[in-house]
């Protein structure tokens, strides 16, 4: 789609709105034409654009029966940063509602978007239930929390800060607040007899043996945090940070590695991403500068713009004067589906395309 075509979509759809998923429901995202304008060149993505694509990724995982990932929305961290550092109580409904009906300690990966100083970055929390490996074990057969961890898996949880503009966000205070949050969430779930959870099961194992339940602390030692910016693809402008954040999530969640751990230290080079899905990630390039290209990331703008435009088009009656003009603009993009150097490539397709390109370069080099 030409840039002029993209601009037409946002202007043509003035006054139109849509929701995703289209049938609404908990956590649905409502979008208006002004949100489309944020997807045009030289504009930063807003919360709505971010929420839309993250919801797309979340539902895609669930459709494939993958429940290992949890997505906090773009407002979660701001709310968390405003919360006082004190134990949970029954009045902390603002905090507890974020995980109502969801035991985050059954998840392997938790995505926490960060927005501050006109910049987007991301914290990825890996294997929060592995905290039990740092605690006194129940005097019974060792339990497996959430997804069973192999004996070669992580012995502790880990937080990673993924930032496409190194140094813009200081991860240290964010790590500290997330440690506090996870500790409070663990304690609250451990003592909540109304819901089954990993913390509750762990506590009951001690009670069943008549042994005092030990104190749980998510300290810096038990839950380290690492800045990954030095080894990740980086933006070279001031507006594409949101696109990079979404690409980090898209490419990592598609890879869906067995586990992530820090081996031997707390530098980004110590982080190991083990057993990613071979169709979605190359073990030698995942979470490296070669993970995905800046060009592919930039194309996510038009990809999202068309996805949202299609949703909006579905809300317009065919007799609306704008209908056929919008339909034509969307169809123009669809014609590009077979031109891989033009449109945004999702992780599986991107890896296949890069593998093909590498093979061709090798053949040319051989001649």
Write out the two tokens for 64: 């494939």
Write out the two tokens for 26: 């908990």
Contact, 276 vs 283, CB < 8 A? yes
Q: What is the pLDDT of residue 292?
A: 97
Lowest mean pLDDT across 135-144, 176-185, 194-203, 286-295: 135-144
pLDDT at 199 over 60: yes
Distance CA 200, CA 190 (A): 4
The burial of 43, by beta-carbon neighbours within 10 Å (0-12 exposed, 13-18 middle, 19 or more buried), is given as middle
User: What is the separation, in whole angstroms, between the first and last Cα of the chain?
Assistant: 36
pLDDT at 137 over 80: no
In a 3-state reduction of DSSP, which class is residue 169? coil
Kindly report the number of other CB atoms within 10 A of residue 299's CB atom: 18
Distance CA 122, CA 160 (A): 8
Distance CA 120, CA 40 (A): 17
pLDDT at 366 over 80: no
Average pLDDT, the chain: 88
**14-50 residue pLDDT tens:** 899 999 999 988 889 999 999 999 999 999 999 999 9
**340-360 residue pLDDT tens:** 677 899 999 999 999 988 888
pLDDT at 159 over 50: yes
Pairing of strands 225-227, 158-162: parallel
Q: What is the pLDDT of residue 338?
A: 62
The burial of 109, by beta-carbon neighbours within 10 Å (0-12 exposed, 13-18 middle, 19 or more buried), is given as buried
Distance CA 297, CA 12 (A): 26
Q: Among residues 279, 334, 308, which one has the least CA distance to residue 46?
A: 308
């Amino acid at each position: 789609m030409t840039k002029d075509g993209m601009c037409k979509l946002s202007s043509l759809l003035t006054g139109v709105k849509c929701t995703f998923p289209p049938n609404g429901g908990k956590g649905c995202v409502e979008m208006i034409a002004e949100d489309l304008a944020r997807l045009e060149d030289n504009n930063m993505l807003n919360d709505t654009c971010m929420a839309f694509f993250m919801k797309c990724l979340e539902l895609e995982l669930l459709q494939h029966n993958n429940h290992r990932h949890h997505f906090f929305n773009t407002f979660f961290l701001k709310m968390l940063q405003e919360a006082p550092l004190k134990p949970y109580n029954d009045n902390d409904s603002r905090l507890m509602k974020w995980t109502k009906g969801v035991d985050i300690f059954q998840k392997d990966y938790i995505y926490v978007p960060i927005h501050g100083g006109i910049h987007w970055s991301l914290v990825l929390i890996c294997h929060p239930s592995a905290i039990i490996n740092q605690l006194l074990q129940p005097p019974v057969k060792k339990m497996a929390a959430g997804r069973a961890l192999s004996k070669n898996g992580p012995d502790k949880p880990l937080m990673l800060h993924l930032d496409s503009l190194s140094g813009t966000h200081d991860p240290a205070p964010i790590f500290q607040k997330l440690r506090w949050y996870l500790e409070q969430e663990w304690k609250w779930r451990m003592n909540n007899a109304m819901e089954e959870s990993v913390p509750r099961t762990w506590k009951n194992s001690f009670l069943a043996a008549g042994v005092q339940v030990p104190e749980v602390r998510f300290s810096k030692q038990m839950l380290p945090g690492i800045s990954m910016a030095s080894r990740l693809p980086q933006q070279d402008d001031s507006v594409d940070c949101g696109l990079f954040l979404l690409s980090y999530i898209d490419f990592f969640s598609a890879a869906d590695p067995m586990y992530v751990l820090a081996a031997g230290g707390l530098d980004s080079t110590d982080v190991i991403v083990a057993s990613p899905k071979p169709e979605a990630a190359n073990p030698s390039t995942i979470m490296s500068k070669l993970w995905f290209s800046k060009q592919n990331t930039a194309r996510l703008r038009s990809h999202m713009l068309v996805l949202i435009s299609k949703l909006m088009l579905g809300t317009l009656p065919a007799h609306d004067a704008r209908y056929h003009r919008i339909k034509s603009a969307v169809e123009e993009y669809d014609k590009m589906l077979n031109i891989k150097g033009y449109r945004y490539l999702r992780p599986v397709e991107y890896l296949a395309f890069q593998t093909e390109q590498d093979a061709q370069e090798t053949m040319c080099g051989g001649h």
